[in-house]
Amino acid sequence: MPDPVSPLASVLFVCVHNAGRSQMAAGFLTHLAGDRVEVRSAGSLPGDRVNPAAVAAMKELGIDISEARPKILTADAVQASDYVITMGCGDACPVFPGRTYLDWALEDPAGRGVEAVRPIRDEIRARVEDLVAGIDAGRKRR
């Protein structure tokens, strides 16, 4: 039986700039799973700030990612994660055995207004909800 204090899984979301898709995904996962899942995000070429339209779109749903900062993707972050979810970062993500890798083909919200970011946000939410259900189902099988 897992230790009730330790998270069920650790998840790393990766996109190029770590400024939109991966930050929204991390915000949703933190919101939906709380401390049951350890959440990380990173970028292969991180930007200097989180996309303001992504911040606004998430705020509409009551999720505040305004304090998030883009981070560089490291091999250590990948190695420390059970799930690595890439969103258009190509082959920049190192591969380690024993990790679950998923590639979510999502439009890049860079340079778009909040109206254009909403459908991307909603697709990310649906995928994160499915991810949480899968993580929870895996726990029940243990």
Looking at residue 101, which CATH number applies to its domain?
Answer: 3.40.50.2300
Q: Which residue range(s) make up the domain with 126? A: 9-136
Residue 69 lies in a domain: yes
141 located within any domain: no
Q: Is residue 63 part of a domain?
A: yes
Q: Is residue 88 one of the residues assigned to a domain? A: yes
With respect to residue 72, please indicate whether it lies within any of the assigned structural domains.
yes
Query: How many Å separate Cα 82 from the centre of its chain?
Result: 13
Q: How many domains does the chain have?
A: 1
What is the torsional sign of CA 122, 124, 126, 129? negative
Residue 3 lies in a domain: no
pTM of the model: 0.90
- Neighbouring CB atoms inside 10 A of 86's CB total 23
Asked if residue 30 belongs to a domain, the reply is: yes
Q: Which pLDDT tens digits describe the chain residue by residue (142 residues)?
A: 445 557 889 999 999 899 999 999 999 999 999 889 999 999 989 999 999 999 999 999 999 999 999 999 999 999 999 999 999 766 666 677 788 999 999 999 999 999 999 999 999 999 999 999 999 887 655 4
Q: Are 81 and 99 in contact (CB under 8 A)?
A: yes
Q: Which residues are catalytic?
A: 15, 89, 93
